[in-house]
Amino acid sequence: MEDEEEEAPLAVEVDEPIELSSQNQLSSSPPKDGDVSVGVTVITGYLGAGKSTLVNHILNSQHGKRIAVILNEFGEEIGVERAMINEGDGGALVEEWVELANGCVCCTVKHSLVQALEQLVQMKERLDHILLETTGLANPAPLASVLWLDDQLESAVKLDSIITVVDAKNLRFQLNEHRSSSSFAEAYLQIAFADVIILNKVDLVSPEGSGGVLEELEEEIHSINALANIIRTVHCQVDLSKILDCQAYDATHITRLEALLEESHTLSTQNLHDSGVRTLCISELRQVDLDKVRLWLEEILWDKKYGMDVYRCKGVLSVQNSNQLHTLQAVKEIYEIVPARDWKKEEKPMNKIVFIGHNLNENILLDALRACAAC
Amino acid sequence: MAGGSDVAEAASQSCVQCGKPAHLQCPKCMELKLPREGAAFCTQDCFKASWSSHKSVHLKAKLSTLGAGALGEQNSDLVNEGWLYCLKKGQARTPKLPHFDWTGTLRPYPISSRRAVPANIDQPDWAVDGIPKIELNSDLQHVVEIKSPDQIERMRETCRIAREVLDAAARVIRPGITTDEIDKVVHDATIAAGGYPSPLNYHFFPKSCCTSVNEVICHGIPDARKLEDGDIVNIDVTVYYKGVHGDLNETYFVGNVDEESQRLVQCTYESLEKAISVVKPGMRFREVGEVINRHASMSGLSVVKSYCGHGIGKLFHCAPDILHYGRNKAVGVMKAGQTFTIEPMINAGVWRDRMWPDGWTAVTADGKRSAQFEHTLLVTETGVEVLTARLPSSPSVFPWLNNAS
């Protein structure tokens, strides 16, 4: 048995680590260990549109970032997944087989895919971004709902954006494909849910810049989803800064929503296709009662009132008894309203909400929003 | 202090001697990996002044490891008899204590071999091969079922049996009993009632109930460790009977438990009680987390976020997920005829959890204690029915209930 010392030894100085609340996460500051979560980009699109080309372009560009690519047949059991890690500047591509453990679903909050991605982040010394290339997926919504985690979970990963790669040469054909059937061509869903659309193979469409064709295509895409950012590419050569760190699901990152406030013309689009998938924008100047807004949104998103099927929803709200601009975001049934920041002096507080979906009725939505105005 | 999970946590420690902000740590405590609060000092002088009483903390820790040394011998005896440590969620065993940077003082012990279930008992599909195939592929993972009157009646019966099984386990709790012996009581009581202990072989879980001691948050595996005076232990029982599951858990005191643990357990009990009181048709599922979080934060405690309550019926776990933390995006409102559990896990320290090498046992990241309570609930037209409620015969083990049930 050791003798305990009679004299106290020298006490040791310790630095207390302070856990930042999720609200303090600044996207622009350089990533420090443990502070910032790794963005996950979902890449979807038809076979042959150029998903793999995009992925390779991202991995091969000289950008100094360590990026992992997960090839995922979503819907099947996640067992051994192939993960490719880019070694960074000028380095060779390292292809590693990474076993992403099969998590048990029993009463765990995070889906096994999320747990697998978190494990990947933990395993690698430094990971700047994750690309999730979906091979068989028509509808990205289930993936988005799995990856769009509550801020409270302070997860090591977070959904950054959904990118759809579209084949400019074949798009029109793909959109018209299901004109007669009751279900939509996959193309509509992939476009509707996208935050960024890579309009690829533009060289095959207008080889001599024969005007108008690309503009028409973009108009068609925007008629479905007026919020998405469309980037024209050849061989998916795209500036990475436009597609990484989009923070499309960050409630407090509202640069793109601010543009919404400034839109002088309406974002609402006409029904260009039989699909009935379009974008609709409504606005209201008076402040709204937040409780009423929630009930109204839940009627539409959860109860599918009036038969409207909302795929995406984004907006800013001017809320009664608050000087904070509130942001609204929804993917299918999942929605959140969060106070983002104070209204700026030069801004005119107002409510502006964009719906992307099917069977949308502008009058009903506008009346309902007006009914939410604070009395 | 820890006023809710969105406030900056782990602010500076307070000096053990005088309470002022402390940035010095006792090096011996660091070496022994003992909790920071007991080892923080503001100056060398305060450290010196408290030394003669402080060093008893080291002695206590050493005695328990020595005890573990003696137990190490006991454990190797058990290993020779076929008791082994659990690995890979129950799919593997090992004779040696796995390596891990344990967050507290608790360690896994070897577990006994699998208990048999008589052939005449109706068993869920995982009893055979460990995989709950029906559950994994069911639509009920996405849609919340409204139970028929017949299903509801069966759930009442099964939940009552689960309550009686848990009560039987509660009655044997005392210092010196192993969690394995508790598991045997649960297993035998369940079989005697004609039911199957749902946890057994569920995703390869090796035992018939979960026993979670001290810093274990949930899913602790019954093993050869004897409960000690001062421990708190949660027993989580689920029974499968007449085609439906009933699920409940309670945290109990072993012998004389310190005040902090008593407060932790009572607060956890109350947060479940408060959550149940808001259950009624039309209530958003999301609201449960707000209620629990509010109550826990008020007491300076934190809410575990990695595990949630769940729909239950002919499936063990199905929709909806019942999140226990605030500001969550849970979808939907409660409707009459739905059955689900609420099972808050509340921690004395930080909310984060870690997983032991066995792949099941969840422990607090800081080694401090955690408590849990669970009920299976039925939403009625006017409110809620607690299907796993205490019975007049339930043992009086909660001082705040004043010996009433």
Mind listing the pLDDT tens digit for each residue in B122-147? 999 999 999 999 998 899 998 999 99
pLDDT, position A273: 55
CA distance A92 to A85: 10
pLDDT at B248 over 50: yes
- The mean per-residue pLDDT over the stretch B263-283 comes to 98
Q: What is the pTM of this model?
A: 0.84
Of B13, B27, B333, the CB nearest to A12: B27
CA distance B186 to B237: 8
pLDDT, position A320: 95
pLDDT, position B188: 98
- The mean per-residue pLDDT over the stretch B178-190 comes to 98
pLDDT at B26 over 80: yes
Q: In the block, which residue shows the tokens 């602010």?
A: B11
- Under the banding of pLDDT at 50, 70 and 90, the label for residue B302 is very high
More confident residue, B75 or B227: B227
CB within 8 Å of chain B, chain A residues 320-349: 333-336
Percent over 90 (pLDDT), chain B: 76
pLDDT, position B10: 43
**What would the two tokens of residue B12 be?**
């500076």
Of B12, B47, B307, the CB nearest to A8: B47
Identify the closest residue of chain B to A329 by CA–CA distance.
B329
CA distance B219 to A271: 53
Strands B210-213 and B196-197: unpaired
pLDDT, position A216: 85
CB contact under 8 A, B328 and A150: yes
- The mean per-residue pLDDT over the stretch B239-263 comes to 97
pLDDT, position A94: 59
pLDDT at B11 over 70: no
pLDDT at B330 over 90: yes
Q: Which residues contact B360 (CB under 8 A, 6 or more apart)?
A: B86, B89, B90, B205, B219, B220, B221
pLDDT, position A263: 66
pLDDT, position A20: 35
Instruction: Provide the CA B200 distance to its chain's centre, in angstroms.
Output: 16
pLDDT, position A171: 82
- The mean per-residue pLDDT over the stretch B195-205 comes to 97
Which alpha helices (H) appear in A201-346, and where do they start and end?
202-205, 213-224, 240-243, 255-262, 290-301
User: How long a stretch of residues is chain B?
Assistant: 405
CB within 8 Å of chain A, chain B residues 95-154: 136, 141
CB A114 within 8 A of CB A155: yes
- The mean per-residue pLDDT over the stretch B341-356 comes to 96
pLDDT, position B209: 98
CA-to-CA separations, B287 to A296, A333, A367, B245, B342, in angstroms, rounded? 17, 16, 28, 25, 12
pLDDT, position A30: 34
pLDDT at B243 over 50: yes
In the predicted model, residues of chain A with pLDDT beneath 50 are 1-2, 16-33, 74-80, 88-91, 102, 182
Note whether B62 contacts A: Cβ–Cβ < 8 A: yes
More confident residue, A116 or B224: B224
- The mean per-residue pLDDT over the stretch B172-197 comes to 98
pLDDT, position A63: 74
Of B10, B89, B307, the CB nearest to A17: B10
- Under the banding of pLDDT at 50, 70 and 90, the label for residue B55 is confident
Interface mutation target, options A10, A14, A118, A298, chain B, most CBs of B under 10 Å: A14
pLDDT, position B122: 97
